[in-house]
Copies of this chain bind each other. A is one copy, B any other.
């Protein structure tokens, strides 16, 4: 794992160094991580994605035997909760679609909605094709789990295979539930990028990028921790994905935004011309739905309905969101002398992103502090990127990227490590946060640069003026 020290000492370097690093990182991982997986702990082979402290009870026999067993009701209950959590995370995609539509100009709304419909659809399909296998490469359930490029092996799955639908697979849910919950997560990365690049990206370029980002980059990086890869071995802790999902999406977005450049007319003569949100009710609907969905995003990430764990995490999640909003209201008022609705909305999201990494390992008062800090961070981060002429129409880089890093570090600052064998520290958290951020940035930078050269990534000035809805789709979002 030489890549680690290399990485840490290069944080201030130029983009091309990140790219090099990312290649090294990715490469250093593909080989040893999977060597680990396949050689390391064969006894654990069945417990992919299972909380370590739960022993799957031994299981033999048919599904009917299982339904008559003692633990069947609890298994059914856990399975149901993860399904419901998957539905809640699905709702977040509607939240993203409405938030982005609301914060952007109405002339680009159809384009944004189209991208969101595309992302959730292609996200589920690519995750079925290869993402699920790539992200959770272990196991030996009679399926050929052959690592990253297990393309299509999923289709050989036998729905009647009893092992997949009993606690032999996992004490808490079936293989199918596992897939659905993880698939709903998978599309999130591309959705985050979608908001930041809105209003000037070419649709075909985005579609290709989204497929690669969701179908390849996310499961690859996700496996570092959740697939029991090298970051997991280091003790890195990221409960529901402040880094794995949010910083990943946010820094992928940053790379794309740097290549795309700002929207026309946004930075004129050194000044910043705000481009107002077109539909605040829509944006507010989006944030409330994201808040709602986050109860599944975090609460489902135990992969069980354990009352101690799930209840606690829902409370820390709600408190961080609430304090994020209050903090953003206060700090944006101090900065701009106005009670700013978009900042209040971003404050809720900042608190949610911030608590995601450590929702289960921080105290109640810490969850409020994490939210308050996140709410302040997001305000100043948005103002900072705007000053740097890095144009992010929805604030996704700040909300998901910067607050994702904050949330990951907060685990090291506030959290109490429950696993003595793999304790997390501020160092492991820094390593993880920065690994995900750099990898996502580098991957997006390389892919987007290639797409720029091959097919172009930005619409023409005339198209941008008229709006993507008319020029790319021949449809308008709002008519009489």
Nearest residue (CB) in B for A275 is B479
Q: Which residues from B are CB-within-8-Å of A79?
A: 305, 307, 310-311
**Minimum CB–CB distance for A414 against chain B, Å:** 13
Question: In the docked arrangement, what's the CA distance between A287 and B478, Å?
Answer: 17
Contact (Cβ within 8 A) B279 A281: yes
User: Does A363 reach chain B (CB closer than 8 Å)?
Assistant: yes
- Spot the interface stretch: A20-28, A116-124, A383-391: A116-124
Question: In the docked arrangement, what's the CA distance between A276 and B98, Å?
Answer: 20
Contact (Cβ within 8 A) B177 A311: yes
Q: Which residues from B are CB-within-8-Å of A339?
A: 114, 203, 472-473
- Spot the interface stretch: A136-144, A152-160, A189-197: A152-160
Contact (Cβ within 8 A) A121 B310: no
User: Does A399 reach chain B (CB closer than 8 Å)?
Assistant: no
Question: In the docked arrangement, what's the CA distance between A342 and B117, Å?
Answer: 11
Contact (Cβ within 8 A) A311 B74: no
**Minimum CB–CB distance for A5 against chain B, Å:** 36
Contact (Cβ within 8 A) B174 A364: no
Q: Which residues from B are CB-within-8-Å of A83?
A: 295, 299, 310-311, 314
- Spot the interface stretch: A101-109, A265-273, A431-439, A445-453: A101-109
Nearest residue (CB) in B for A183 is B318
Of the four ranges (under 10, 10 to 19, 20 to 34, 35 or more), the interface on chain A belongs to 35 or more
Nearest residue (CB) in B for A177 is B311
User: Does A176 reach chain B (CB closer than 8 Å)?
Assistant: yes
Knowing A76-B77, A307-B173, say if A325 contacts B117 (CB, 8 Å): yes
Copies of the polypeptide in the assembly? 3
Contact (Cβ within 8 A) A91 B292: yes
User: Does A323 reach chain B (CB closer than 8 Å)?
Assistant: yes
Q: Which residues from B are CB-within-8-Å of A319?
A: 124-125, 128
User: Does A63 reach chain B (CB closer than 8 Å)?
Assistant: yes
Partner of A121, one of B289, B326, B474: B326
Contact (Cβ within 8 A) B121 A325: yes
**Minimum CB–CB distance for A284 against chain B, Å:** 5
Nearest residue (CB) in B for A472 is B339
Knowing A83-B299, A125-B323, say if A117 contacts B341 (CB, 8 Å): yes
Nearest residue (CB) in B for A66 is B308
Question: In the docked arrangement, what's the CA distance between A106 and B102, Å?
Answer: 15
Q: Mark A313-333, 1 if CB is under 8 A from B, else 0.
A: 011001101110110010000
User: Does A9 reach chain B (CB closer than 8 Å)?
Assistant: no
User: Does A350 reach chain B (CB closer than 8 Å)?
Assistant: no
User: Does A288 reach chain B (CB closer than 8 Å)?
Assistant: yes
User: Does A150 reach chain B (CB closer than 8 Å)?
Assistant: no
Nearest residue (CB) in B for A308 is B165
Question: In the docked arrangement, what's the CA distance between A112 and B33, Å?
Answer: 52
Partner of A281, one of B72, B113, B175, B365: B113
Knowing A157-B364, A284-B97, say if A477 contacts B279 (CB, 8 Å): yes
Nearest residue (CB) in B for A73 is B74
Contact (Cβ within 8 A) B155 A364: yes
Q: Which residues from B are CB-within-8-Å of A67?
A: 306
Contact (Cβ within 8 A) B87 A87: no
Question: In the docked arrangement, what's the CA distance between A322 and B120, Å?
Answer: 7
**Minimum CB–CB distance for A95 against chain B, Å:** 9
**Minimum CB–CB distance for A202 against chain B, Å:** 11
Question: In the docked arrangement, what's the CA distance between A159 and B359, Å?
Answer: 12
Please give the residue numbers on chain A whose beta carbons come within 8 Å of chain B beta carbons, in ascending order: 63, 67, 72-77, 79-81, 83-84, 86-88, 90-91, 93-94, 97-98, 101-102, 105-107, 109-110, 113-114, 116-118, 120-125, 128, 154-155, 157, 159, 165, 173-177, 179-180, 183, 203, 276-282, 284-285, 287-289, 291-292, 295, 299, 305-308, 310-312, 314-315, 318-319, 321-323, 325-326, 329, 338-342, 344-345, 348, 363-365, 368, 472-480
If A94-B292, A121-B348, A165-B312 are given as contacts, then 20 extra A-B residue pairs at C-beta distance below 8 Å, sorted by A number, are A76-B307, A83-B311, A87-B88, A94-B284, A106-B480, A121-B323, A121-B326, A125-B368, A155-B365, A174-B307, A174-B308, A177-B311, A179-B315, A276-B476, A276-B479, A280-B475, A285-B285, A339-B473, A341-B473, A342-B475
12 residue pairs A–B, Cβ–Cβ below 8 Å: A74-B76, A76-B305, A83-B314, A91-B292, A110-B280, A117-B325, A123-B322, A124-B321, A155-B364, A165-B312, A180-B314, A278-B478
Interface pairs A-B: 10 shortest CB-CB: A176-B311, A94-B288, A79-B307, A121-B325, A121-B322, A124-B322, A165-B308, A177-B311, A174-B311, A280-B477
